Each structure stands twice: as structure tokens, then as C-alpha cells.
Chains A and B, each alone.
Chain A
């Protein structure tokens, strides 16, 4: 009989590590979270804290130097000026309008995708919704500038349909109009809706796919017209998805500085003011204070969203 080595082979390092984590579940949580916690703690919260701190400093108007002294002077004297309030109000209204319009456009499409589209069509639609996100955002915004310009394809198309007069009438409305679509707030709005629409479609679609077909049939079976079913069954069940989508469209519009810089009537939005203040003007404290505004608005918004169950739909 041949001799056989009595010692079993030593388990590999990976297997011993696995056994260690099995015996110490707390250490496995540490291993799981160490990288994201480091990232969030140092880069994300750290920069946010630095930003908030900056907003309580002030700029010496004479020397142009930042005075590192805590105080509310930047907020009191420079932030809430009438012209800045104008910017904040304009940005807020734009974010609201973009969100509502995105929801109105996204809902029927998401509903079609969730309820009627075949497996194949749904795949194609997902692709079409996501495809623009693969190309550069800047390129798409500049493309829209060309589309919306006086000599652009949209104006040409409207003239061709005999709707040139309608366009002129819309553009002459004070507040939203301008010399052409690419130089009007209306143009800014159109491009905002275009750019952020996918972020609204996807969560609504997710929420709608979770609504069983039988629940909609049950409503109809109990005598509800399609409109009644929509208001009392479909919309309430998809509402968390709408709110989840609105978090994206609202916050992204609130902070964007590219689109209104390229397309619009050169009235400022919050993002542009931040950009100009910290870049051209070198007023870091005021830029920081300006950033706090969308943060506060979004904090309130997220509280409402959570109460509406939006985080269940993400």
C-alpha cells in the first residue's frame, strides 16, 4: 500500500479570506463600504463643506481679496439683491416648467412602453431614449442652436407649413419671446426639456411596469371610464415614478449653466452667475452663497418627494 500524505492541502488565500469574513460579518461590511465611504466623505462631503464655509467669508471690494472671517455679510449685502432675486426666481420657474413639460411628454410614452409595446418595440424605444445620452451634451446643445436659429430648419419647416406667422406671434410675447427661437427663453426651455427628458421617461416607465394589468382591468370592470381609471388608479400608482423623474429634471435644470449660455436671451440663471462670480469676478464667497440656494431648494424638494414615495420608484 502506497503511503499517502496525511495533511490535507492548505486552503488558498482567497478561501481563507472568505472564511474570515464568514466568521466576522462586521468586517465584511467594512470591506464592502470602505471605498464608497471614503469617496463620499472626502471628495463629496468635503468639497460641499468647503463650499459652505466659503459662503460665510466675504470679498474685500477694494482689494478683491477673500477675507477669511465668518459672517453673513455676503448673504445680506450681495446675495439677496433685486437682480439676484430675479435670477433665482427665473431659474426656479424654468426648473418647474421644464419638469412639468417633461412629465407631460414622458408619461404617454412611458405608458405605451410599459403597457402596449411588444418586447422588440420596447427594446428599440429604450435605445432611442438612451441614445442621445451617449453623445456629448455640448454638441447636442450647439446643434439645437442651429436648429432653432433664424435660418434654422425649424423656422424653415414652420414657414413651409404656413405657420411662420404663428412663430412670429409667439416670439413677440414679452418675457418668453425674442428675435428668434435660439435667442429666446422659449428656446432655452425647449432645449432643457429635450436634454432632460430621458431622465423623466425611465423612472415613470419603471413605476408603470410595476402596475399589474389586472388592476387596470379591475377598475374598468367596476365601471370606471378610462379617465377615472387614470386619475384614481394609474396616476396614483405611477406618481412615485413621476416625482422620482422630477428630481432629476428639476435639479439638473436648477444647476445648469451651459444651455442658457448658448441658447436664450442672455438673461442669467443661477448656474451662470456661479460660473461668472467664481471665474471672471473671482468672488468665491458670493459664488458659494449662490450655490447654497439650489441646495436649499432641492433639500425641501427631496423632503416632499420622499413623503410622496418617490424613492420606492428609483
Chain B
């Protein structure tokens, strides 16, 4: 399902494993990332996404398998010889240096002339919207500003691949949403491959061209945000990317005529009255509303259907008030949805 087969490969991971003792942090991983992509590694903590990033950066060495960076084998190549730069989760700014010295560090190592360093540092600080802060120390900056300095410090070197390790994790919600938009804009402006680690599925869906969903050191699914959300192939992906109802066993048999487990998104299900007419292309099941959670824009219902399964249903509060929805608890209802929204899952 490669999105850009014509673009050249930035990263190729072939059967890569990284074991820490008995723990398989990354387990037989295969991954292709193309030049210029915004690629996210999405997964819960401990799923191996950060280890995967550290393998690319060179801070970890694979226990087996091989990593190619623009076609070059990376085995035995130390981090300081790799044309990638990292934005660290804790930003890792040098506390004893000014903002200007932090951003200019990589250029200083490459022995770029001083005048040129100053010019590029100024230019880069303008791009991350921190002009004139050259002489501040990192301790004098806010979290959001430090994050931008860390980004500038990495981007000023024009790496071919930029690695971002949950860079927005420490920011508050509003700032995080703003930075998501800015990061995406900067990525399109500079055209560098971004590999972005996050545990926030909304962040991954918002920003990525493609994403890989990690679980227990393995990749569950790779695809565009729409593909992964609309067509999850495993139970884990269906549950981790957004929320899903998993329907299995007898209920699945009754609804689809096959006992293969399928997932159905809460927003695809409609709550109707018991006498509603149901067409051939619809699934329908009766149930009792067990719980109602009023969330302003929409309401989440927990409905117990026949066979004891609980289904989550989300309905927008279009023409109902909080009084209406909260009084619905205990009601007998009919749930209907289009059969085309059922997603059969493998290995679940």
C-alpha cells in the first residue's frame, strides 16, 4: 500500500529487531519511508516506536536486521556520522549555551564561517517565530519556546531526515494544536522527511501523510490516516486509532452470517425506535441504554445488546438537550447501521 512508489526511499528497515534482554522492544520490523514524507510512528508507550526512532538515529544498534538510510547500510555508523537530526522529547537543549549557540551548534561543528552561522541562525529563529531571542538561555524560555529552539537547532543543519520524538507531549492542548499546524507547514516548506513519534492518535491523523501503528514491538498496520481510520485491519488498530466496537462470535454470526470478528465505529451507528423499518443492506440489533455520557457537542451511549455485548454509540446533539439525552437511560432502542461500515478483522 505504498503511497509514493515513484519517490526515492529515505529509510528502509529490513527485518530489524532490537532486544533488551528478554524484552523484544522492536521485533522483526519491516518499514519503508519515502523522501519528503511526513510519517508518524503511532502506538502506546512501550510499543517500540521510540526504539525504532533511536535505531534510525543510531543511539541504538539493531540486534538483527538492517537499516538503510538513502540506500546506505547504517550498521556500525555512529550517530554523528548520520545525516539525520533529532528533536528530543525533553528538547535536550544545552543549558550552558545561549539560544543562538544552541541553534548554531551543528554548523559550528561543520566549521561553517561565523558570519554564515549567524545568518542561518537568525533565519531559522525567524522561521520558528522566535526572532531576537539569540542571547537568552534555555532556562529563560517557556516550554513552547524551548520546543521551537530544539526544532530550529535540528533544522538548521538541513538534514535529509528529521526525527521527532513526541515533541509536543509536554505542551498544553491549545499550544499543541497550534504547533501541529506549524510543524506541518514547516515540513512542507523545507521538504525534509519528517518521522514523528506520538502516542496521540489525533495528532498522527492530523499531521501525517502516512503512519504506522505499533503494538508490542511490531507494526500492526501502515497506511494513510484515512486508510488506517476507515479500514483498520486488526482489532488493536480498530481500538487504538479512534474507538471501535468489536463484534464477535454469535452476535457476528447473527448480524453478518459469518462468525468472523468485525469492527464498527461508534459514530456509524444510529439509535432509532424499535418499530423502525430496516432494509436489506443494514445491520440491526435491539438493546437497552445502560449509560449516557453527555459531552456537549455529542453524547456517548453505552448500550447493552442481545447476548450481553456492550456497544458504544456516539450521536451528535443536533436537536436534543442534555435533559433529553440523560433521561434516555434504561430505554429499549433499535441500533441500525450500514453493512458497508463493518470492517472484518484479521487475527482477532
Q: Does B239 contact A (CB under 8 A)?
A: no
Are the CB atoms of B106 and A223 closer together than 8 Å?
yes
Q: Does B119 contact A (CB under 8 A)?
A: no
Q: A223-B106, A223-B109 are in contact. Are A214 and B88 (CB under 8 A)?
A: yes
CB distance from B126 to the nearest CB of A (A): 20
Enumerate chain A residues within 8 angstroms of B93, measured Cβ to Cβ: 215, 218
Q: Does B96 contact A (CB under 8 A)?
A: yes
Q: A217-B59, A217-B79, A228-B109 are in contact. Are A222 and B157 (CB under 8 A)?
A: yes
Enumerate chain B residues within 8 angstroms of A212, measured Cβ to Cβ: 90, 92
Complex formed: what's the CA distance from A207 to B88 in Å?
22
Q: Does A233 contact B (CB under 8 A)?
A: yes
Are the CB atoms of A223 and B90 closer together than 8 Å?
no
Enumerate chain B residues within 8 angstroms of A228, measured Cβ to Cβ: 109
Q: How many residues of B contact A (CB 8 A)?
A: 24
Are the CB atoms of A225 and B80 closer together than 8 Å?
yes
Q: Does A237 contact B (CB under 8 A)?
A: yes
Q: Does A71 contact B (CB under 8 A)?
A: no
Enumerate chain B residues within 8 angstroms of A220, measured Cβ to Cβ: 58-59, 78-80
Q: Does B110 contact A (CB under 8 A)?
A: yes
Which B residue's beta carbon lies closest to that of A215?
B92
Choose from B96, B109, B157 the contact partner of A237 (Cβ within 8 Å).
Answer: B96
Q: Classify the interface of chain B: helix, strand, loop or mixed.
A: loop
Per-position contact with B for A12-23: 1 when CB-CB < 8 Å, else 0?
Answer: 000000000000
Are the CB atoms of A221 and B85 closer together than 8 Å?
yes
Which B residue's beta carbon lies closest to that of A233?
B94
Q: A214-B90, A214-B92, A215-B94 are in contact. Are A221 and B109 (CB under 8 A)?
A: no
Q: Does A219 contact B (CB under 8 A)?
A: yes
Enumerate chain A residues within 8 angstroms of B59, measured Cβ to Cβ: 217, 220-221
Q: A228-B109, A237-B96 are in contact. Are A221 and B90 (CB under 8 A)?
A: no
Are the CB atoms of B105 and A222 closer together than 8 Å?
yes
Which B residue's beta carbon lies closest to that of A309?
B96
CB distance from B95 to the nearest CB of A (A): 7
Complex formed: what's the CA distance from A225 to B106 in Å?
11
Enumerate chain B residues within 8 angstroms of A224, measured Cβ to Cβ: 80, 105, 109
Are the CB atoms of B94 and A221 closer together than 8 Å?
no
Q: Does B153 contact A (CB under 8 A)?
A: yes
CB distance from A60 to the nearest CB of B (A): 57
Choose from A217, A222, A225, A236 the contact partner of B153 (Cβ within 8 Å).
Answer: A222
Are the CB atoms of A223 and B80 closer together than 8 Å?
yes
Enumerate chain B residues within 8 angstroms of A237, measured Cβ to Cβ: 95-96
Q: Does B224 contact A (CB under 8 A)?
A: no
Enumerate chain A residues within 8 angstroms of B154, measured Cβ to Cβ: 221-222
Per-position contact with B for A44-67: 1 when CB-CB < 8 Å, else 0?
Answer: 000000000000000000000000
Which B residue's beta carbon lies closest to that of A213?
B92
CB distance from B340 to the nearest CB of A (A): 47
Complex formed: what's the CA distance from A214 to B90 in Å?
8
Complex formed: what's the CA distance from A224 to B105 in Å?
9
Complex formed: what's the CA distance from A192 to B89 in Å?
45
Q: Which of A194-239 contact B (CB under 8 A)?
A: 212, 214-215, 217-225, 228, 232-233, 236-237
Complex formed: what's the CA distance from A232 to B104 in Å?
13
CB distance from A234 to the nearest CB of B (A): 11
Further contacts, 4 of them, CB under 8 A, given A217-B86, A221-B57, A221-B154:
A214-B88, A215-B92, A220-B59, A220-B79
- Partner-B contacts on A (CB < 8 A): 212, 214-215, 217-225, 228, 232-233, 236-237
Q: 7 nearest interchain CB pairs? A: A214-B92, A218-B92, A222-B106, A220-B79, A223-B109, A221-B86, A220-B80
| 13 pairs of residues in contact across A and B, judged by CB atoms under 8 Å | A214-B88, A214-B89, A214-B92, A215-B92, A218-B88, A219-B105, A220-B58, A221-B79, A223-B106, A223-B109, A223-B157, A228-B109, A232-B105
- Partner-A contacts on B (CB < 8 A): 57-59, 78-80, 84-86, 88-90, 92-96, 105-106, 109-110, 153-154, 157
